[in-house]
Amino acid sequence: MAAVSSSFHFCSSARRAPINSISLKLAQLASSFTQPLLRALQRGPARIDMAGVIKKTSGRLLDAFVDFAFHFEDQPWLPSQSNFMPVDEIEEAVIISNIEGEIPHDFPEGVYIRNGSNPLFGALQSGSSVLGLCSETWVEGEGMLHALSFSRATPAAVSVGSGGAWTLSYKNRFVESKTFQLERSRNHPAFLPLIEGDAPAVLASFLLNKLRFGKMAKDLSNTNVLEFSGKVFAVAENHMPLEIDLLSLETIGDWDLSGAWDRPFMAHPKQNMSLMILPQKAPGGELVFVGADGKKPFLVLGVVSVDGKELKHKVDLKLERGIVCHDIGVTERYNIILDMPLTFDIVRLMKGGPLLKYEKESYARIGVMPRYGDSDSIKWFDVEPYCTLHLVNCYEDGDEVVVRGGRSRGSIIPGPDLGRNKCQWFSSGFKLKLAGEDCDGNPNEGLLNFRLHEWRLNMKNGSVRNRYLTGSDLSIEFYMCNDLFVALPKYGGLMKLYLDEKDSTTMQENDNGGSVKVERHPLGANEFCSGAAFVSKLGGVQEDDGWIISFVHNEHTNTSQVHIIDAKNFKDDPVAKIILPKRVPYGFHGAFIPMPNRL
């Protein structure tokens, strides 16, 4: 099952500090250096902690220098981006009784929880200076969790409200990383942006962030929610997972596996489901993941024990470049590594180029690695350059390892160089190509659309067979499956893919056998969703025994709902629409997690 994407727009701008403010800032700069030292001297020589004074003074000096040299400015929101705008935390969970339809009687108790970007200070930030512009990208912004809890009501509650036999409550909360706490305590932006912008400004941001805070970038746990071994984590690409209390949404702390993992994690780790006892989820499988970095070792793979307490395997994959690795695959015996040319390159930045870039002329590979192998055990398959952020599934078929995922000709991250002209660039890149239509010579048209693609990697002779499984008239992303069968755009609907059935009515171009059968669940007029989740039916055994659940927003009425869709009757109207008391911005990924006492 997957989501149909639609075009979206994003623009950014920044201005430099006015000249008439320079004298005031120079005075503030001098004051920040001298005042701590004068206060220390007034206390007397015997009471001076010079190391502490120097540290505090240097910190104030660096802060004042940043305030003097850089001007922070909110990136503007366009009218079409109204539901990307952040919301405030709510203090207490809100009970919900406004429901259209009925929640199925065999729906499990649990929490539907989704992560997403929610900029702390109202908007993404740009910073301008004499060195140029540095900007946050559309995937940045502090993480916020939105959670809808389902519990069976007591007999007294059944007679009250339209929730029937259910009690529902909604809550949201920021993911409180250490850097989030730091900026909130200052009540203004502190970390300089560094993913895109003019190279001198980005290099200065790296250095100043490191000197001031001991790290080069903010920890943004804004991408996904992971449940593993009875615990819940907010995860993203740029740092370690943060454990979350499922009911209160409070942030508990870093999950570093007792110090065994000391680098970034990833958004889409995978459980080795071959260790699982079906159809129940217990006892679960080992967790396989990678951590990417902009310096060597560029990519390290880890395997965590079933109980979540031990890092059983850790290996440097010895890549020769820094890459974005948003997703990996697992089969019964193998780990699947995507080495695509979406790269981080400090040397390129120092030469005046962008830090993050999709290098369409560079090489691309897919690696197949035994579960506990080392870098020498990886069998690499050279393929045409691709951008794949999300996999659907991977499995073994005789001598072949089959990898299925979304493939596009370009990358939506970070966008055009230097963060300018995003509006037209995104709109053109997301334009669908209909039957018989050409692109009028515009190489960017349709560049960002994802089509479902299949690579068949022959482990015996090293050959690769590949084909598109969907036509260019569809753009499909944010895939999800029933977990028991697994080996900031907005979306106008959901789709169910029948990967073993052909649809003769769809486009055949370059598909080597035709497209797969697709079933659509369009949303209403002016309604859009983001990442959805699959909810397994109690006692279900078939792959589509369950429901699709997703936050949906109506841009005309500015109201948000949660839709529950029967996966076996996918084209039908939702079995339930739950009207939420607050607006829920579009976000990224989430999960439905059974109540802790039901795990």
User: Minimal CA–CA distance to 329: which of 364, 375, 289?
Assistant: 289
Task: Report whether 71 belongs to an annotated binding site.
Answer: no
Instruction: At 271, give phi and psi (nearest 5°).
Output: -90, 140
Please state, as a whole number, how many other Cβ atoms lie within 10 Å of the Cβ of residue 21.
Answer: 12
Output the pLDDT for position 2.
40
Listing DSSP states for 457-519 in one string gives EETTT--EEEEESS-TT--EES----GGG----EEEEEEEEEEEEEETTS--TT-SS-EEEEE
Output the pLDDT for position 595.
83
Task: Report whether 453 belongs to an annotated binding site.
Answer: no
Output the pLDDT for position 38.
47
Output the pLDDT for position 550.
95
Q: Please report how many Cα atoms fall inside a 13 Å half-sphere around the Cα of residue 61, on the Cβ side.
A: 12
Output the pLDDT for position 164.
65
Q: What is the dihedral of CA 238, 204, 182, 22, to 10 degrees?
A: -150
Cβ(593)–Cβ(246) under 8 Å? yes
Output the pLDDT for position 516.
82
Instruction: At 19, give phi and psi (nearest 5°).
Output: -60, -35
Output the pLDDT for position 441.
56
Task: Report whether 239 belongs to an annotated binding site.
Answer: no
Task: Report whether 326 belongs to an annotated binding site.
Answer: yes
Output the pLDDT for position 3.
38
Beta bridge partner(s), residue 145: 115, 173
CA distances from 229 to 192, 302, 307, 595 (A): 36, 16, 6, 13
Question: Tokens in use for 131?
Answer: 């060195």
pLDDT tens digit at each of 599 positions of the chain: 343 333 333 333 334 444 445 445 545 554 554 455 445 545 555 555 646 556 677 888 899 999 999 999 999 888 888 999 999 999 899 999 999 999 999 999 999 999 999 999 999 999 999 999 999 988 899 999 999 999 998 755 543 444 568 999 999 999 999 999 999 999 999 999 998 899 999 999 999 999 999 999 999 999 999 999 999 999 999 889 999 999 999 999 999 999 999 999 999 999 876 544 333 333 458 999 999 998 999 999 999 999 999 999 999 999 999 999 999 999 999 999 999 999 999 999 999 999 999 998 999 999 999 999 999 999 999 999 998 888 988 999 999 999 999 888 888 787 666 555 566 767 777 776 554 444 455 667 777 788 888 999 999 999 999 998 887 666 665 555 544 444 356 778 887 877 778 765 544 444 455 688 888 888 999 999 988 899 998 878 788 899 999 999 999 999 999 999 999 999 999 999 999 999 999 999 999 999 865 44
Question: Tokens in use for 147?
Answer: 């959670």
